[in-house]
């Protein structure tokens, strides 16, 4: 008898296992977008500051420090959200393993075999 396990199956706490995965992906996308914007701002400021002196240079430095602080806050926020969603996924996985231990062992063994075959081919 084989049982098909879907990715959207619910865990012990009633949450679907798909929701935390999608949330982590969204957080990673937001983090990537923030990093891209930050690097673009840095490049723009570096190009602009090559010919600046005095007060203009001080303003550019202040703008750069402000942007670094904003990027740091954004990364911390997204990182915290990813950590929370990862904890939710771990709880859902733990619930699944406790509800269906033999299926979890079978899935783990199958994944181990597939990984072993993939690594043996290299």
Residue 117 forms part of a structural domain = yes
Q: How far apart are CA 10 and CA 53, in angstroms?
A: 61
Total structural domains within the chain = 1
Which distant-in-sequence residues (6+ apart) come within 8 Å of 11 by Cβ? 17, 91, 92, 93, 95, 96
Residue 73: band (very low, low, confident or very high) from pLDDT cuts 50, 70, 90: confident
Residue 91 forms part of a structural domain = yes
Residue 97 forms part of a structural domain = yes
Residue 6 forms part of a structural domain = no
Q: Which domain holds residue 83?
A: 18-121
pLDDT confidence of residue 7: 45
Residue 121: band (very low, low, confident or very high) from pLDDT cuts 50, 70, 90: confident
Residue 103, pLDDT above cutoff 80: yes
Angle, helix 54-99 to helix 101-121, in steps of 10 degrees:
120
Whole-model pTM above 0.85? no
Residue 13 forms part of a structural domain = no
Q: How far apart are CA 15 and CA 84, in angstroms?
A: 14
pLDDT digits (tens, 9 = 90+) for 8-45: 445 444 545 565 566 556 666 766 777 777 778 777 77
């Amino acid at each position: 008898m084989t049982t098909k396990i879907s990715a959207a199956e619910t865990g012990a706490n009633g949450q679907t296992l798909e929701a935390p995965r999608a949330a982590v992906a969204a957080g990673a996308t937001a983090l990537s977008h923030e990093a891209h914007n930050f690097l673009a701002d840095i490049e723009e400021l570096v190009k602009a500051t090559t010919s600046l002196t005095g007060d203009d240079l001080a303003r550019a430095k202040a703008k750069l420090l402000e942007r670094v602080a904003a990027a740091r806050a954004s990364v911390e926020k997204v990182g915290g959200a990813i950590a929370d969603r990862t904890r939710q996924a771990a709880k859902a996985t733990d619930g699944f393993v406790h509800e269906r231990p033999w299926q979890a062992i079978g899935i783990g063994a199958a994944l181990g075999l597939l990984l072993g075959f993939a690594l043996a081919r290299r």
